[in-house]
Copies of this chain bind each other. A is one copy, B any other.
Amino acid sequence: MSGRLFVIGTGPGNPDQMTPEAHAAVSKATVFFGYGPYLDRLNLRADQTRQASDNREELDRAGAALRAASEGAIVCVVSGGDPGVFAMAAAVCEAVDDGPDAWRDVDLVILPGITAMLAVAARVGAPLGHDFCAISLSDNLKPWATIEKRLASAAEGGFVIALYNPISKARPWQLGKAFELLREKLPGSTPVIFGRAAGRPDERISVQPLNVADAAMADMATCVIIGSAETKIIEREGKADLIYTPRFSGGAAGD
């Protein structure tokens, strides 16, 4: 007998940014798998059990969750943000792809969430108001050369760029290198938004122009948004600047 596997996203961490359907899934499930700090965002009941694991053990966690669901449990795999963006939904699919047939029978229900770039963008205006891309800067799962190529394609194509996983103790230089590469393609005045913990009490949002953007402003919990050549800044007296990318475009960068 097969149970059900919910894969949910908490959003960036403010419970008011988690959807009602995700809250309802949490209420139905009895076993929870996820990175500890994400599980901490849920107010689990005494009859609900949590299996916290390190953030680098996603595939093992996905397999354990599928096993529990295939044995009949109502299971919830918890991601921060949206589960489909650099998060657990892909890991669960990978585990299904490589796992026993029984895992394909599991009733898999993936529920979307507010991903970091949307929450950060909303705090500063509308930097994602026109064409944009999302790139994970982690070279644990792909060659650095691929990342360099994608950064170049994105800048040449005129996309606003959201960087996920910009920096960690094991990956200290990649964000600085990305800024260096982008300085060759984009105006020095292009706004770079460092959005940490958007919507949470420890939120910290700051903006620097690309020519002086400092990678040390970012940590693991930061989403970095780099404007296109068309992104604009509106100064407001007594209020934070608004940053937005107009809906209309005269041409791609470099045209």
A residues near B, CB below 8 A?
11, 14-21, 24, 58, 82-87, 89-94, 96-97, 104-105, 108, 110-115, 118-119, 121-123, 125-136, 141-143, 145-146, 149-150, 152-154, 156-159, 232, 234, 236-237, 239, 242, 244-252, 255
Contact = CB atoms under 8 A, between A and B. Distances in A.
- Ranked nearest first, the 4 interchain pairs of A and B with the lowest CB-CB distance are A90-B129, A153-B157, A93-B244, A133-B133
A110 B237 CA distance: 19
A126 B93 contact: yes
Nearest to A94: B246
Contact of A154 (B90, B127, B133, B246): B133
Contacts of A237: 104-105
A85 B97 CA distance: 32
A85 B128 contact: yes
A86 B234 contact: no
Given A17-B21, A118-B115, A58 B131 contact: no
A132 to B, nearest CB: 6
Contact of A84 (B90, B122, B146): B122
B150 A252 contact: yes
Contact of A232 (B97, B119, B149): B97
Q: How many copies does the complex hold?
A: 2
Contact of A246 (B15, B90, B149): B90
Nearest to A142: B249
Contacts of A145: 251
Most chain B CB within 10 A, of A82, A126, A145, A159, is at A126
A118 B17 contact: no
A214 to B, nearest CB: 24
Contact of A133 (B94, B136, B159, B246): B159
A143 B158 CA distance: 13
21 contacts: A14-B21, A16-B19, A17-B112, A19-B19, A83-B122, A84-B126, A85-B128, A89-B122, A89-B129, A90-B129, A93-B244, A96-B234, A96-B242, A110-B123, A114-B114, A131-B133, A133-B159, A142-B250, A149-B252, A152-B157, A153-B252
A175 to B, nearest CB: 16
